[in-house]
Amino acid sequence: MGANEHGVCIANEAVNAREPAAETEALLGMDLVRLGLERGSTAKEALDVIVALLEEHGQGGNYYEDAGSCHSFQSAYLIVDHEEAWVLETVGKYWAAEKVTEGVRCICNQLSLTTKIDAEHPELRSYAQRQGWWTGEDEFNFSEVFSPADDHLHCCAGKDSLEKQEEGITVQTMIDILRDKASGVCIDSESFLTTASMASVLPQSRGSPCIHYFTGTPDPSRSIFKPFIFVDDVKLVPKAQSPCFGDDDPARREPRFQEKPDRRHELYKAHEWARAVIASGQEQGRRLRRTMLELEKQGLEAMEEILASPAPPDPAEVADLFYDCVDTEIKFFK
């Protein structure tokens, strides 16, 4: 997931499909997110970038730094900007996309596009026919054709929550859903942990800034969502950047991922202590979580004031916004 200075945001999810993802090294879903954000100034431009790169380079390879086995996936994307939103779902180099015009949408580990398709790979349907997955006689339903048997069911855990609050969705609504462990949106298990979370406000008025809230740390139920605004000369945040290993990075050496280096940044390491204290269930952990939520609330209220103001914020005043939030959080944990 990520955002760029044009107000384009992209979310990515690994999906199960009838055709297994290639284990051969190619582009990963996260690569395509970064490239779409780098090259797209609108949601549609970012979508076009992603599908063009799929056609040229394909997708595949190991999503994990694990030399012992390969974990490869197909990908789905939610791509949005100030004015429009798209759901893009891919199987190999083949893809389909729907322009979202109403309601709420989510992506998850199952294909969700059905018969409403607004753009697609030119050979999508003929490929499905060659594979024997579609006769060409019935109405073309993307998820039914490309999903494993009996796996094209309702799947998005957060969608019901969003639909119930559709008329009054706020940043706090999104944060609460991202923290929801009961529904499975937020995962904290021995085998998997929600790595980081993000919520964005994209005002339709171009005079108002897009505001993005990042945790930069795992498990959003025990993390602080911190605001970020794109401006010129924005202050970099080394304490929230993973260390650079240069040419010695196992991701650069072939064969890749034979080792797993310590990629934790300073904020991540400081936050590990906080997660452990909160998870203990002791009074110290409850006090810590209350204080973290109060810090987060102060940030949310400050951003609401910016959005309510008729004048855009002074870039000099928000250039170090995220830097200061991270610095305050680390000092607080210490």
Q: Does residue 160 form part of some domain?
A: no
> Is pLDDT of 262 > 90?
yes
- Residues 30-49 pLDDT 10s: 999 999 999 999 999 999 99
- Mean pLDDT value across residues 110-115: 94
Smallest Cα–Cα separation from 36: which of 83, 60, 3?
3
Domain for residue 159, yes or no?
no
pLDDT digits (tens, 9 = 90+) for 172-200: 999 999 999 888 888 887 778 888 999 99
Q: Residues 174, 254: one domain?
A: yes
Indicate whether 208 and 84 sit together in one domain. no
154, 184, 206 - which closes a domain: 154
For 138-161, the pLDDT digits (tens) are 999 999 999 997 665 555 777 777
Share of the chain above pLDDT 70, in %: 98
Residue 163 has pLDDT above 90, yes or no: no
Q: Is there a domain that residue 162 lies in? A: no
Question: Which among 97, 134, 141 is positioned nearest to 115, based on CA atoms?
Answer: 141
Q: Does 263 lie in the same domain as 126?
A: no
Does residue 104 lie in a domain region? yes
**How high is the mean pLDDT of the chain?**
92
Residue ending a domain, among 105, 124, 154, is 154
Looking at the DSSP bridge assignments, the partners of residue 228 are 212
**Residue 292 and residue 179 share a domain:** yes
| Residue pair 155/103 in contact by the 8 Å Cβ criterion | no
105 and 38 assigned to the same domain: yes
Query: Residue 222's closest CA among 252, 254, 190, 187?
Result: 187
pTM of the prediction?
0.94
Residue 276 sits in the same domain as residue 251:
yes
Looking at the fold, whether 190 and 305 belong to one and the same domain comes out as yes
**Dihedral angle, C-alpha 100, 105, 111, 114, nearest 10 °:** -50
Condensed to tens digits (0 to 9), the pLDDT of residues 55-74 reads: 999 999 888 887 777 788 99
Is residue 223 domain-shared with residue 89, that is, in the same domain?
Answer: no
Q: Which residue has the higher pLDDT, 166 or 288?
A: 288
For residue 258, what are the domain limits? 167-333
Tokens of 61: 């390879």
Q: Which of 154, 189, 214 is the last residue of a domain?
A: 154
Is residue 38 domain-resident? yes
Give the tokens for residue 47. Answer: 């979508």
In terms of domains, do 20 and 131 share one? yes
Mark whether 329 and 225 lie in a shared domain.
yes
Number of domains comprising the chain: 2
